[in-house]
Structure formats: C-alpha cells, structure tokens
C-alpha cells in the first residue's frame, strides 16, 4: 500500500475523530445546561412541598422532627434518581402529557420512598400531607421552569427540522412555539421554499436535505426532527440512512390530521431513533456496572490468573502479557491487553506465512484473522478457544479504555472497512465482549461484524448488555466461533 493512500485514509479518520469529539462535547453541554435547571427546580419543588406539609402538620398539633442532613440528602437523591429512571431528565422534547404522567408516577414512587425512610422520625402526619401537595406543586414547578428558561438562548438542545415542504409556516412555526419542551430549532432544511412565507421565516432556511451534516456541525444541532409527510416506512428509512445517519437523535414526527395515539407515539410525540449511549445517565450506569463487575472478577479470578501465568511461563518463555494498540472512544489510542498466546517473533512468522501462502493472505486481508494461525502456541490455542486470553482486558475496563460490552476494538488499518459507520464506532467505548462475539464471532463476515457493532450502538440498553454478558458465558463454554 502506498504511503500517500495511507496518509489520505488517516486524514479522513482524523477528521472523523475531531468531529466526533467536538460533537459529543457540544451535545453533552447542551444536555447538561437543559437538564440542570429541571433537577434544581425539582429539588425546590420537593422542599417547598415538605415545608408546606410540615407547617400544616404543626397547625394540627403534630410536632414533626427535623430529619438529619444525611436523611434529607438521601430523600432528595433517591427522589431525583427515580425521576431520572423515568426519563424526566433525558427526555428532551418530551410531550407534556407524557411528562405529566411520568411526573405523577415519580411523585408516587418518591412518596413511598420518603414515607418508608421518614415515618420512624415521628413525621407521619407531615408525610401524609406532603403527598397531595407534591402532586400539585412538582408538576407546576417543572412546567414553570421550562417556560422561564425557554426564553434564555442557552437553554434547550439544538435541533434542525426537515421535510416541512409547503406547510413550513405551520409546522416549523409550531416547533418554534414549543421550545419549552426542550428542543430549540436552529432552522429548517428543504429543497424548495414557498414564496408565500415571510422573510423572517426564510432566514431560518439553512439549505437542502443534502446539507444536513454540514448544518449539524456548524450549528451544533445533533437532533433532527423529520416530518413524515405521508411517506411509507421504507422511504423514511432510506432518507434517514442517506441524510441523517450522523445525528445523535432522529425524531420522526407525524404531521397528518389523523394523528396516532399519544401513547403509541411515546414521550416525544413521534418515533425516536437515538444513540442511547450518548446520554449521561446511560454512560454512568454502564461505567458503574462495568467497574463493579470487573473488580469483582479480578479478585475472584486471581487463582485462575496465577494458574494461567504459570502455564504460559512453563510452555512458552517470554513476556506474560501482550498489548496491541487499538482505537478507542473519540479516537483515543490504547493497548488492549491479553495473555500472550503467540510466539515471541509473531510478526515475522506472519509476514513469512502470508508471503508463502496466497490463500492465507486472502483470509487475513478479509477478516484480519487466520483459522490455522502458525503464530499461536499450544497453550495460546487453548486460551483463545476458551477466550481466557482476554481476561487481562478487565484492567482496560477499570482504566476506562474499554467497557465490558461494546463494539469490537479495532486497529488503524481496519478503519477503512467501517466506511460511514466509523463515526458511530468513535462515539462509544469498545468492549471486551459484544454483539459480534455472541452472534457467530469468527464465523461471520467482516461486513456483518460492522453491522452488528453499529446495531449495538444504536440500540443499547442495560438489558441488552446483560443479555450479551449472559450469551458470552454460553459462547465461551461451547467455544462458538472461536479459533
């Protein structure tokens, strides 16, 4: 491969890495700025409710005991955690009726929690009065907060609106009026603009559909609101693939007179496609779970690690561990550690093997793996088939370079194989195991690997991770797709 081709590809990768880092920082900043006032005012709503309830209880002759600082913090943090679990801080653009329902559910759960913690302090009457007061105060405080901060230019997550067509005045105008929901339209994209609209509205026209990626980067608008306009699902899917694949969230908004059920539409009044792993709450949950499991596994598995180390030292003299440079989140380079399963001069052996055997060269170029790899030692072959060679990557997880579950970590010369999905790869932390490893592993094509990694990123959930971890145990025990 010529040097100029290599340079061209690395430049493209560098641009993607740079835009991914910038995009994540911008999106996260908007997310925090929009959610922080809601968190703060929910705390205010709870405190006001408890204060009013205590005053009423005192009026009726009860003398509530002031809770300790630790208990007060536990009550507030516990209640906020319940609200967060119900999506009340991550659901920007949430439909007001859906938000009201989630808020009522959150108050009910919080009341049970508060009652259980506080009833022993002699505050039974105050707690009893607090429930109906919270039901009234908390939603009002949240709604008021949204309308007050919607007038501030820094509040809200930037979004771009597409496919309004001739109804741009009505549809885009509705989005401008709906900023309190948390999404702030920076403009709209469409090929033709009706002459009948005002100059003020025309100033929001930012280009055609093909300009979506450019506008996303220039305006920091990583959410797209796409109007269906009566198009069938397959056309919508193709449109998203062609124009909106780089957006972090795509909300497909119905704009027909015969709207579907509110509850069928869900929280965003439409169908939402998103990279859930970009949400702060998701990242915290995933990171915390990964740390706890990895530390526990290292402690419990220490006897096994020592046994493997002794076996390798006896059968294959040389370094115990092997670190191979991989590309991580935001393009960060790191060494993914493994128990050394190859001979010491592995690179030389590979080069000689590929030079002598065209079939093995073709296999290597297609998959970056060899089924009958001459570099692998006898002990290493067993470790690979059982995936025990990857146990040291738990250290990568603790260091934050890898996650327990995620896309397969790739090397620099694999970037070109990811094509337009490389930016999706850069958004998340690669994993020790992943959807590819439990879906055929080395028996799948490289294109299938990329598709599985992309699917995982776009459909992540904690349950998806737990499912993959469970399937990983089965895959390891039965050595599915390993060689």
The 10s digit of each residue's pLDDT in 64-85 is 555 555 666 767 787 888 888 8
Burial class (CB in 10 A: 0-12, 13-18, 19+), 68: exposed
Pair (270, 285) in one structural domain: no
Looking at the structure, do residues 192 and 58 belong to the same domain, yes or no? no
Q: Is the pLDDT of residue 34 over 80?
A: yes
Q: Do the domain assignments include residue 370?
A: no
**289 and 422 assigned to the same domain:** yes
Please report whether residue 415 resides in a domain. yes
> Are 386 and 260 in the same domain?
no
pLDDT, average across residues 286-303:
91
Question: Strand 157-162 relative to strand 431-433: parallel, antiparallel, unpaired?
Answer: unpaired
Domain boundary among 274, 301, 329: 274
Same domain, 406 and 468: yes
Rounded to a whole number of angstroms, the CA Rg of the chain reads: 27
Q: For the segment 422-432, what is each residue's pLDDT rounded down to a tens digit?
A: 877 888 899 99
pLDDT tens figures, 458-476: 778 888 888 998 888 887 7
Band (pLDDT 50/70/90 cuts) for residue 294 is: very high
Query: Is-contact 90 277, C-beta < 8 A?
Result: no
Q: How many residues appear in the chain?
A: 483
**pLDDT over 80 at 24, yes or no:** no
Query: 418 and 289, same structural domain?
Result: yes
Rounded Cα–Cα distance for residues 302 and 478 (Å): 23
Claim to verify: residue 108 and residue 38 sit in the same structural domain: yes
> What would the mean pLDDT of 153-180 be, rounded to a whole number?
88
The answer to the question of residue 466 being in a domain is yes
- Domain end marker among 227, 253, 274: 274
Question: Do residues 249 and 303 both lie within one domain?
Answer: no
Q: Cβ neighbours of residue 262 under 8 Å, at least 6 residues apart?
A: 95, 97, 98, 269
Contact present, 424 and 431 (Cβ < 8 Å): no
Is the pLDDT reported for residue 399 higher than 90?
A: yes
| More confident position, 444 or 329 | 329
Any domain includes 355: no
Number of domains in the chain: 3
Q: How confident is the model at residue 261 (pLDDT cuts 50, 70, 90)?
A: very low
DSSP result, 386-418: TTGGGTTHHHHHHHTSSEEESSPPB-GGGHHHH
Reported as a single tens digit per residue, the pLDDT across 131-143 is 888 888 888 999 9
Answer with the residue of higher pLDDT: 358 or 393. 393
DSSP designation for 214: H
Per the model's pLDDT, the better-predicted residue between 279 and 67 turns out to be 279
pLDDT of amino acid 197 = 85
Residue 305: pLDDT band (50, 70, 90) is very high
Q: What is the pLDDT of residue 462?
A: 81
pLDDT value at residue 38: 92
Q: Average pLDDT over the chain, rounded to whole? A: 81
On the question of pLDDT at 270 being above 70, the answer is no
The percent of residues in the chain predicted with pLDDT above 90, rounded, is: 22
At 264, the pLDDT band (50, 70, 90 cuts) reads very low
Which residues constitute the domain of residue 253? 157-274
Domain co-membership, 48 together with 167: no
Whether the pLDDT of residue 271 is over 90: the answer is: no
pLDDT 10s digits, 88-138:
887 577 778 888 888 889 888 877 776 766 655 556 666 777 788 888 888
Residue at a domain's end among 274, 296, 311:
274
The answer to whether residues 232 and 298 belong to one domain is: no
| Region 287-316 average pLDDT | 90
**Rounded CA gap, 298 and 356, in Å?**
42
- Inform me whether the pLDDT recorded for 183 exceeds 50: yes
Whether residue 101 is contained in a domain is answered as yes
Q: Is 302 within a domain? A: yes
Does 366 fall in a domain?
A: no
In this predicted structure, what is the pLDDT of residue 444?
A: 74
Q: What is the pLDDT of residues 325-383, one digit of tens each?
A: 999 998 899 999 999 888 877 778 888 888 888 888 888 877 777 778 888 888 888 88
What number of H helices and E strands is found in the chain? 19, 10
- Greater confidence (246 vs 148) lies with 148
Residue whose C-alpha is closest to residue 249's, from 222, 210, 281, 211: 222
The answer to whether residue 473 is domain-embedded is yes
Q: 281: pLDDT confidence band, cut at 50, 70 and 90? A: low
Tell which residue, 194, 237, 244, has the closest CA to residue 214: 244
Residues 313 and 197 in one domain: no
Same domain, 161 and 138: no
pLDDT on residue 4? 34
């Amino acid at each position: 491969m010529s040097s100029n081709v290599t340079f061209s590809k690395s430049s493209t990768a560098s641009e993607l890495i740079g835009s991914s880092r910038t995009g994540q920082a911008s999106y996260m900043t908007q997310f925090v700025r929009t959610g922080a006032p809601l968190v703060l005012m929910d705390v205010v709503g709870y405190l006001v409710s408890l204060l009013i309830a205590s005053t009423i209880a005192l009026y009726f002759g009860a003398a509530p005991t002031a809770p300790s600082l630790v208990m007060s913090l536990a009550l507030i943090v516990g209640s906020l955690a319940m609200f967060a679990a119900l999506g009340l801080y991550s659901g920007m653009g949430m439909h007001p009726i859906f938000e009201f329902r989630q808020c009522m559910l959150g108050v009910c759960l919080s009341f049970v929690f508060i009652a259980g913690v506080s009833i022993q302090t002699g505050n039974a009457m105050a707690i009893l009065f607090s429930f109906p007061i919270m039901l009234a105060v908390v939603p009002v405080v949240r709604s008021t907060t949204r309308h007050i901060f919607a007038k501030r230019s820094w509040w809200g997550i930037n979004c771009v609106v597409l496919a309004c067509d001739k109804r741009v005045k009505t549809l885009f105008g509705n989005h401008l009026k709906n900023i309190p929901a948390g999404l702030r339209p920076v403009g709209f994209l469409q090929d033709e603009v009706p002459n009948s609209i005002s100059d003020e509205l025309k100033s929001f026209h930012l280009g055609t559909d093909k300009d979506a990626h450019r506008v996303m980067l220039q305006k920091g608008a990583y959410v797209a609101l796409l109007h269906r306009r009566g198009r069938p699902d397959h056309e919508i899917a193709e449109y998203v693939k062609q124009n909106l694949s780089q957006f972090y969230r795509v909300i497909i908004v119905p704009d027909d007179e015969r709207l579907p059920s509110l509850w069928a539409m869900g929280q965003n009044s439409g169908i939402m496609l998103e990279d859930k792993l970009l949400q702060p709450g998701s990242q915290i949950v995933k990171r915390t779970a990964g740390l706890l499991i990895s530390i526990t596994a290292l402690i419990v598995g220490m006897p096994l690690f020592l046994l493997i180390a002794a076996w390798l030292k006896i059968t294959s003299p040389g370094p115990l561990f092997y670190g191979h440079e991989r590309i991580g989140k935001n393009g960060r380079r790191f060494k993914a550690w493994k128990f050394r399963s190859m001979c010491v001069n592995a690179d030389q052996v590979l080069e000689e093997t590929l030079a002598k055997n065209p079939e093995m060269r073709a296999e290597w170029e297609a998959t970056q793996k060899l089924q009958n790899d001459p570099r692998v030692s006898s002990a290493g072959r067993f470790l690979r088939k059982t995936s025990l060679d990857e146990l040291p990557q738990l250290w990568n997880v603790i260091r934050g370079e890898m996650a327990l579950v995620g896309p397969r970590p790739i090397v620099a010369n694999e970037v070109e194989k990811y094509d337009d999905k490389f930016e999706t790869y850069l958004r998340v932390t690669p994993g020790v195991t992943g959807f590819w490893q439990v879906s055929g592993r080395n028996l799948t094509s490289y294109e299938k690997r990329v598709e599985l990694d992309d699917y995982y990123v776009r459909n992540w959930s904690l349950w998806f991770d737990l499912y993959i971890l469970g399937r990983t145990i089965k895959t390891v025990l039965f050595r599915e797709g390993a060689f």
